[in-house]
Amino acid sequence: MTKNNFGRVVEVLTENMKFSSLNFNIEGKVPFDNDPLPNESEIKIWNLSDKTLNNIKRGKVLMLNAGYTGDVGLLLHGYISNVSTTWEGVDKITTIHVLDSEDLSKRVVKEIAFAENTLASKIIRQMATYIGLPIAQMELNQDYRYQEGYTAKGEVTEIISKVAKDCATSVYINKNKLYVRNLRRGGDDLFTLNKETGLIGTPGRFEKDGMKGFNIKMQLQHRVTTASAIDLKCSVFTGLVHVRNGSHNLSRTGDFVTEVEAIL
């Protein structure tokens, strides 16, 4: 265990309220991946007052920070999709589901015709305006040219996904921002992962979808998310891998880990 990873910290912020694991029992799971559909996280908070619960509402912005004393970062920035409360004995447990963007399934276009020789980048940028998300990164492997033009119709996220596929490029939503980029290339900070910096166990190899890589488990690390570059140092491999998907799992006394699928 790394000597720096002590003193778990979890913070939930919404509607000018802040809930800290210093005062509340908080558990959660925050998934991330490389597709354009919003991910849904689940957060549980114990024993909130009725007055507080009245202010936790669907559609409101919620942010989740987590880490260790002196090293805390943003895991989630999204919108509350559902709130429910149940009782277990004397404990009142509130479960909050959060999408990492607004629900985009209803963002559709009837039909937009793009002229001959339109570049994919133009289509993606225009479609992005309809879902209202800022483009955090856009770097296409190939800016595909539609020589016969292109007709956009239907769900906007699906249109963006199809156009990005024509460019052999991944597209995904993360922390309420849109990314269109190669998972193996970008301006990501390099995170060195070994037993001293939080690696748990021995990574397992996988080969699927034409990709090879490792399933990796580590102490919770807010720096790691989709497309993160990891300098992995372990008994079975030493070298660079890139995160394709994974999840942060957090609690006050149980799991406090980040698990990822990282490709070579």
Whether the per-residue pLDDT at 126 is higher than 90: the answer is yes
Predicted pLDDT of residue 45: 98
- The amino acid occupying position 219 is Q
Predicted pLDDT of residue 2: 42
DSSP helix/strand/coil, 131:
helix
In contact, 45 and 53? CB cutoff 8 Å: no
Determine the average pLDDT of the residues in 212-232: 96
Determine the average pLDDT of the residues in 166-182: 94
Whether the per-residue pLDDT at 176 is higher than 50: the answer is yes
Q: Where are the alpha helices (DSSP H) in 132-219?
A: 156-166
- Radius of gyration of the chain from its Cα atoms, rounded to whole angstroms: 20
Share of the chain above pLDDT 70, in %: 97
Strands 257-263, 238-250: pairing kind: antiparallel
Domain coordinates in residue numbering, the chain: 108-181
What's this model's pTM, rounded to 2 decimal places?
0.91
CATH fold, domain 108-181, is Phage tail protein beta-alpha-beta fold (3.55.50)
Confidence of residue 4 (pLDDT cuts 50, 70, 90): low
Confidence of residue 105 (pLDDT cuts 50, 70, 90): confident
